[in-house]
Structure 1
């Protein structure tokens, strides 16, 4: 198991967020630091999961492929097309 290194740092948080963290820490009987660490780990895990979320694109049932002029390798133009800008 790797050695854990703890660092002290200062972070400015809103008063209501600190109060929520303190309440959660008290309910769970852990430190506020543990609550903040858990929240950061959960946030990072969501980012990783979102990055791994791959969407499979299917063509129309007739097998004709994508609409003429649509380049699936150009995200900006696909977004524009979906937003009705093209």
Structure 2
């Protein structure tokens, strides 16, 4: 499956460098990292809540299909 992820510039460059040094592709490094994280049990008591944005009637103030608006909302809550 082809997908797009947004990474901080420094993290992306560090990962690309690590991939080059180990003779691997960036994709293989991301796959290995995801598999490792997904295989670990979630720490007890930690629940990551999604940010809540909207009016009391629960009408969202952002369109989640608008990537820039969604990123701004996440950044405002300090979740990214």
- TM superposition score normalised by structure 1: 0.46
- Identify which of structures 1 and 2 has the higher relative contact order when contacts are C-alpha pairs closer than 8 Å and 6+ apart: 2
